[in-house]
Structure 1
Amino acid sequence: MGMVNITRLARVIRSKNAGPYELTLDIIFNDAETYRRVKAKRLINKKLIAGLYHIPEEQVLALVAFDPANAVKATIVRSRPCGDVGETDVYGAQQHAPLLELELPWDD
């Protein structure tokens, strides 16, 4: 079994503000079959997200598989409240970067 970068499996990988204390991470897969494989094998899970973002697993507040969009959505606690002194991304739109390096086990 080889590894594949998430950017080969997903057409959209993004982050956005989910209120002053949370961020939402979205992974929208290229097609339904890829999404179903990732979902069935639970390749995206709270432990994985926590590791990528160097946060305790308890700070991954939600992990939702959304079948109509072939997407997985995770909500995490922001490291700093939105607009706080020292906070550098009010919109949360640059926080998906750790996901771009994600390698998943995959057989073609």
Structure 2
Amino acid sequence: MATRKLTELASVIRSKNSGPYELTLDVIFKDKAAYDAVCRSQVINKSTIANLYGISEEEVIGIIEFAPANAIKATIVRPYPSGALGERDVYGAQQHAPLLNLEVSLD
């Protein structure tokens, strides 16, 4: 079974605030074939996101596959509220890094 890095299949991997207490992780794929392959693999799930971010599955608020945009969105609880003491990324724009090495098994 072949594997590819998520970075090879996606044109955009980003993170951003989803309010002061949540982060959204967006993966937008290069084409429908790549999107469909990742959806079939089910690699982007609550367990994977929880493991990558060192959080519990309960802190993964939701994962949405959005076919019209060839995109998958995951929303998680922020470890610190945006702008709180000790918080280092007020915009949530630097939190996508754990997704960059994610391997996808292709059938």
Same-fold status (TM-score > 0.5): yes
Residue-by-residue CA offset, 1:39-85 (whole Å, 9 max, x unaligned) = 12312111111110010001000100011110000000000011000
Q: How far 1:97 moved relative to its partner?
A: 0.5
Partner of 2:9: 9
Moved more, 29-38 or 84-93: 29-38
* Equivalences for residues 13-32 of structure 1 within 5 A: 13-32=13-32
Matched residue SS, 2:8: helix
Moved more, 36-45 or 5-14: 36-45
Segments of structure 1 that go 5 or more residues without pairing to the other structure are none
8 Å Cα contact 2:60/2:77 also seen in 1: yes
Code of the residue aligned with 2:36 in structure 1: it is R
Segments of structure 2 that go 5 or more residues without pairing to the other structure are none
Matched residue SS, 2:79: coil
Q: How far 1:94 moved relative to its partner?
A: 0.2
Code of the residue aligned with 2:55 in structure 1: it is I
Moved over 3 A (4+): none
Identity of aligned residues (%): 60
Q: Figure out how many residues of one structure are paired with residues of the other and give that number.
A: 107
Matched residue SS, 1:100: helix
Residue-by-residue CA offset, 1:4-59 (whole Å, 9 max, x unaligned) = 11100000000000011000000001100111121123121111111100100010
Partner of 1:73: 73
RMSD: 1.0
- Inter-partner Cα distance in structure 2 for 1:46 and 1:69: 21
TM-score, normalised by the number of residues in structure 1: 0.95
- Inter-partner Cα distance in structure 2 for 1:106 and 1:66: 19
Partner of 2:58: 58
TM-score, normalised by the number of residues in structure 2: 0.95
